[in-house]
Amino acid sequence: MTHRILDPHPDLRPFVKCYWTLEIPSSKAPARNTIVPDGCIKLIFHHADPYRHLPTDGPPIQLPSCFVVGQLTQPYAVEPMGKTATFFVCFHPNGFLPFTSLPIREMENKAIPLSTVFGPAGNQLGQDILNAASTENRIAKAEAFLFARLSEKKTIDRIVDSTVASILTANGKQSVSELSNHHAVSRRQLARKFSTTIGLSPKQLSKTIRLQAALKLLLAKDHNKLTELAYQNEYYDQAHFIREFKEFTGLTPKEFYGNELKMSLIFDGADFPQQ
């Protein structure tokens, strides 16, 4: 397995968190990956074999080669159908809105073809990315597309921007009341802005970011036991931590630990060393 994480153009950094690539030969591909919510919408391009989504309430669904994954509020299980060679564009929690005219909230827990989100230009982008000869060419094609759409859109809401920054800095440990007071905005107004701009409520994003922080500690083994990990991330107790962990991953921490954890963090933009 090889992966790379790369930075966007400086003018896109307020919107795009990173680009990253993942390659796994079919002989070493895991049978199943659980994509855990991380608060980020992504463009995903499979330029080798496709993936299948494994819903909990139905048969497997083959995913398009190129699609948008909206905000996740629950685990999203997938399996490779062969060799993996994937290029991702990962947006900041409030970074995708300037590039789409579709309501962000309607994308929740969905994989949506690029043509549905961007029209014929989405199809062209998909073909350009799939036919590109290198990661650098893919980034160039993606950035040309994003710059063209950005010129037609307004910039992101500064209240949302600063509140998201607070949530990320505190690893999701601040209450919604603390956030609204600090940024001088009512809870109702903040919730409305988040729903429109991010597709999650402030509480949902905070829970997601807090869980991601706990996952990284779990991977790093920076704890002695679950109770310590729960209190380190300011859950009420171990039961509260396990309940929210299962809400986002579908498993208990002990069930989830190992390759499932590592693959989930790769798919959701964990801060692995850059190349």
* Domain of 78, in residue numbers: 2-150
Q: pLDDT digit string (tens) for 248-273?
A: 988 888 777 655 555 555 445 444 43
Question: Is residue 105 in some structural domain?
Answer: yes
Cβ(167)–Cβ(205) below 8 Å = yes
pLDDT at 59 over 80: yes
Cβ(52)–Cβ(61) below 8 Å = yes
Q: What's residue 253's pLDDT? A: 81
Residue 211 identity = L
Three-class DSSP category at 227: helix
- Under 8 Å CB-to-CB from 80, ≥6 apart: which residues? 24, 26, 29, 30, 33, 49, 51
Question: Is residue 196 in some structural domain?
Answer: no
Question: Is residue 31 in some structural domain?
Answer: yes
Question: Is residue 206 in some structural domain?
Answer: no
Question: Is residue 108 in some structural domain?
Answer: yes
Partners of residue 89 on adjacent β-strands: 19, 43
Number of domains in the chain: 1
Question: Is residue 52 in some structural domain?
Answer: yes
pTM: 0.90
Q: What's residue 128's pLDDT? A: 97
Q: pLDDT digit string (tens) for 19-53?
A: 999 888 888 877 788 888 999 999 999 999 999 99
Question: Is residue 247 in some structural domain?
Answer: no
Q: pLDDT digit string (tens) for 132-183?
A: 999 999 999 999 999 999 866 566 788 999 999 999 999 999 999 999 999 9
Question: Is residue 185 in some structural domain?
Answer: no
Q: What is the DSSP letter of 88?
A: E
User: Which CATH number belongs to the domain containing residue 99 in this structure?
Assistant: 2.60.120.10
